[in-house]
Structure 1
């Protein structure tokens, strides 16, 4: 069976601080679900650390179709964003943003020193976060007449499905979720119900 779980952060981690030759590196890790969330977090951190020199970061989104970005924010090429992204990969987490804010301390670290400092800071930020495992879910939208409510509810209970949302009017619509590996058997059970329309989303 293919893997249908992934690891992510339960909540934003604690701020961490790494010092190297008078430079200060503040590390942050956040759970994120979209690029808009990434932008909002970065804006907040730029306000919070408006005296800093660099706000370097990496993020990864998705479980099956992975998107990621690594940004050096003015540091030498691949000396900041990629070492941060490397830590996201080594912790095997996704839907996560790691930001390292640098205050320059007057002493140049060189590219090797920067890579090491950003890597360490990202590692500390992820270690200061609670990492949890979640299932990759498949959603089904069920549309049916009110008279079929009991049938639908019985399958939801039997198959232990999560109800994501429901609209109960003359016609009912319920969105349910199940982990990916259970989806084929759940779909079959739902399709066996008479007078119920099932869409996979």
Structure 2
């Protein structure tokens, strides 16, 4: 899942970007509020991690802009401002979660996964489609109870389709889910990943909508 990180501290930003990538996120990192606003308007992110004390434009202003513009992506505020009035203001401006620095990376990743799945109407962590079950936390996939070995890109593509079950995703939308800045994208990368997923999971799971993109049947949330 591709997310935006807005953090001006170079040491913290580098650590967060590296740590969240280890948790399976594709991370675009910006260092000021103007860049955060520009990227939020231009890209389709799964979520954003937003520091409030940003140069050029305060993070609270960026948050307010995003909601005024009708952007519905989950936004997690990450800040050293721990006063209760600041937290209340951030939540009232449209933040979905509020974490005080310093933050544990495992907790931050878990909070992001929870925000993303709730934004897609998924009440629990595990996702199911037919006999396939996907666990975003452990980045594992089971089919009929047996583990399936997927590459990182294959997992991310399947995750995106399962989160958006019942909705057609174009190749361009899937590329935005799979790749962050500076990563080379082959012209047929999505088609290749879909081909590999069908070979491993069967041809009946991912459906092609000719001239539009790909779709999965509606996901049933697992109770496990």
Length-normalised TM-score, structure 2:
0.22
- The structure, 1 or 2, with the larger RCO (C-alpha pairs under 8 Å, 6+ apart) is 1
**In proportion to residue count, which structure has more strand?**
1
Length-normalised TM-score, structure 1:
0.24
**In proportion to residue count, which structure has more helix?**
2
